[in-house]
Chain A
Amino acid sequence: MKLLNKISNGSLLILLILLSHSSFSQGTEKGDVSIAINYFINNNQVSYLVVKVKTKVDGRFKNVDGVALKLFLDKDSAGTFIAKVVTNKKGEATTTIPPSVEKQWHSQVKHTFLASFDGDKKYGPAKADLTVAKAKILIDAASDKTITATVFEKKDATWVPVKGVDVVLAIRRTAADLPINDKPTFTTDSTGKASGEFKRDHIPGDAKGNITLVAKIVDNDQYGNLVIEKSVPWGAKFTSVSTFNKRTLFATRNKAPVWLLFVVYSILIAVWGILVILVFNLFKIKKLGKSVAN
C-alpha cells in the first residue's frame, strides 16, 4: 500500500546522523520513528488528520505511543498551527482543523500538512508532510439501481469535475465495505462521474431493508481519503435471530433448560429430603437416649 506522506528524508537523515552521533557519544542510543499523515474528509463536511507513529524493533514495525507531535498547515508559524497531539497506544493521534487557520485555509486550494516531533528520551526528532488538493465527492442512486459518484476538484474558486480518479462504490458493512458488484473500483470520466450497477439484491439491510451506500476515494495521492454515504431501501428486511436468550445446554447458568432443572431439582429434593430426615432421626434417637438417662 502506498503511503501518501513523504518523509523529508534528506534533512531528517542528516539530523538523525548528527543526533545519533551525539547521543552515542553520551552513551545512549535513540530509536528512529517514522511519521505518517493521513487526511480524511467525510460527507464533504468535516476533515481531519490521523497521524501514525511507528518504529522498527527487530525488523518489525511497532506503534509508538506517547509521542507529542506539532501539526501545522502549509508552514511552521503561529497563524498556521493546527494542533499539538499525543499518540495513543495504537500509535495514532487524530485532530480536526481548528477555526484559527481559517485564513490560511482560504488562501490556496492545495495544502501541505506538516507534522514535527522534537524527539524525547527514547526517540530522535522526526518530521513528515502531506500535500492534498481540495476535492469533494457526491453520490447519487438512481431508481434503476445505478449508483453514480461524481468527483470535483477546487480550481481557483470553482469546483471542476475530475477525470481518472478511482472510486469505490460499496455497501457499508462492519469489517469492510462490500463492493456493489464484482468490480472493485470505478474510474471517473471527463464529467467526473463513475457509475456502477447495484448487483447485491437481497443483501440484508436493517429492519426496514435500508442499506447505506458509500462512494469513496481511498488513499489518493492528490486528494487523500474522501467518503460519502447514502441510505437506500434496496436491502432485504433483516432482524437478527439469536439463540443467546434461549434456554439451552450451552447457555449460561441462569438459562439452563427447564427439563434439566426439573429433573435435577426433583432428584436433589428427594435424596436430600431423605438425608435430612435421617439426620433428624439421629436427633430423635439422641432425645430418646437422654430420656432413658434421666
Chain B
Amino acid sequence: MDQENNSRRNFLLGGLLAAGAIAGCNTNKDVFESGIVGDVKPSGKKVKLLSVDGDVIEVDEAFLKPVPHMPPISNTEARKGIPGKKFVMVIDLSRCKNLKKCQEACNHAHELNPGENWIKVEPMKSAEFTAPYWEPTTCMHCDEPPCVKVCPVDATFKREDGIVAIDSDRCIGCRFCMAACPYSARVFNWSEPEIPAEIAAQPYSIETSIPQKKGTVSKCDFCADMTREGMLPHCVSACPNGVFAFGDINEDTVSNGAETFRFSDLIKDKAGYRLMEDLGTKPSVYYLPPVNRNFPYESGLENDKIQNK
C-alpha cells in the first residue's frame, strides 16, 4: 500500500516534468494543478536530459525538483489550506475488524506521545438486540466545528480545504475545545511528550502536527502534509482491509489506495451516514453501515485487550 502511494506521487511528479518540458503537447496546466498543489514557476535555468526516444531535450530546472523539495509551507499558508479542495473520508464499518493498524501508523507518523491515540476503534452497539461492530473514529473535521467556535485564540481553525487544524504554538491549553467536541476526538499533552530530542527540537508544523508540545491540545489532522502532496493519509494506506477511503469531495472521488470510488455513488449505494447528524456539526467523515461484514465482530476482541483491560 505504501508502495502504491509513493508510485502515485511519482506519477504526479512525472506529469509535472512532462508538462513543463514540452510546451504545447496534449497536456495543459490543469494537469499538474490537480496533482501537486501550488504553481511551479520556471527558474529560467535549463537542464539537458535524454527523452524516451533518445533525443536530448532541455527542461527548466524548476520542473525537475522533486516534491519534497518544494518550499516549506508558511504558517499563513498552512492556516489557509489548499484552495479549491474539500477533503472527505469514508469509513466502511463492514470491513473493520479492529486490527488497529490505522492507529499504529497514525501514532508513528505523527510522533505521538505513547498512550495517546488520535484514532480510536470503539466497540459499538446501537440497541439491545442489534449486532456489535467496530467503529474507528478520527477527527470528524466538521464543517461547523464546535471546537473551533469556542477556541479563544485561533489555535484551532477551519481551513479552506475543510481540515480542522491546530497551531500548537498558539494553543494556551484551556481545553475548551475538548469539552466542546462531541466526538471526543481531541487529546491533550498532559506531560512533556516522550519523543526523540531531534524531533522535539523541530519547529512546529501545522500540517504534520509535529512535534507535540506539553500543555497543548492535538488531534487527527487528516495528514494535511500528505494531502498537499496528493497522497493518502497514513491511516488510509495502513489499513489492510481498505476500511478508510479518502479524497476530495470537489472531485467526487475517494480512494482507499487499492480501490477508488466515486464518492457520491459510494455513499448512495451503501447508505452512508455521518455520526451525530442531529448535532448539526456537519462532519467530513462519512460512515458506511456495518452490513454484509467481512469479519465477525469477535475477531477484533483479542486485539482490543492490549489497550483496554
> A residues near B, CB below 8 A?
1, 3, 38, 40-48, 50, 52, 61, 88-90, 92, 94, 96-99, 101-102, 105-106, 134, 136, 170-179, 184, 200, 203-204, 206, 210, 212, 216, 218-219, 225, 227, 229-231, 238, 240, 242-244, 248-253
Contacts and interface: CB of A to CB of B under 8 A. Distances in A.
**Chain B contact residues (Cβ within 8 angstroms of A): what range?**
35 or more
A94 B28 CA distance: 24
Interface in B205-259: 227, 230-232, 246-248, 250-255, 257, 259
Contacts of B287: none
Contacts of B122: none
A91 to B, nearest CB: 10
A285 to B, nearest CB: 38
Nearest to B104: A60
Given A1-B4, A94-B66, A175-B254, A105 B49 contact: no
Interface in B1-21: 1-4, 6-8, 10-11, 13-15, 17-19, 21
B148 interface: yes
Contacts of B17: 42, 46, 48, 96
B54 interface: yes
A172 B50 contact: no
B237 to A, nearest CB: 10
Contacts of B56: 99, 102
Nearest to A97: B50
Contacts of A96: 17, 47, 49-50, 59, 64
B303 interface: no
Contacts, number: 196
A204 B251 contact: yes
B203 interface: no
B149 A46 contact: no
Given A174-B247, A175-B254, A229-B31, A216 B11 contact: yes
A109 to B, nearest CB: 11
Contact of A212 (B11, B30, B51, B160): B30
Given A38-B7, A134-B52, A176-B257, A203 B252 contact: yes
Contacts of A3: 3
A42 B30 contact: no
A166 to B, nearest CB: 15
Nearest to A216: B11
14 contacts: A42-B18, A46-B14, A98-B50, A101-B50, A106-B54, A174-B85, A174-B253, A176-B232, A200-B262, A219-B7, A229-B15, A240-B85, A240-B250, A252-B154
Contacts of A134: 52
Given A38-B7, A225-B11, A251-B158, A47 B51 contact: yes
Contacts of A229: 15, 26-27, 31
A110 to B, nearest CB: 14
Contact of A173 (B13, B49, B145, B248): B248
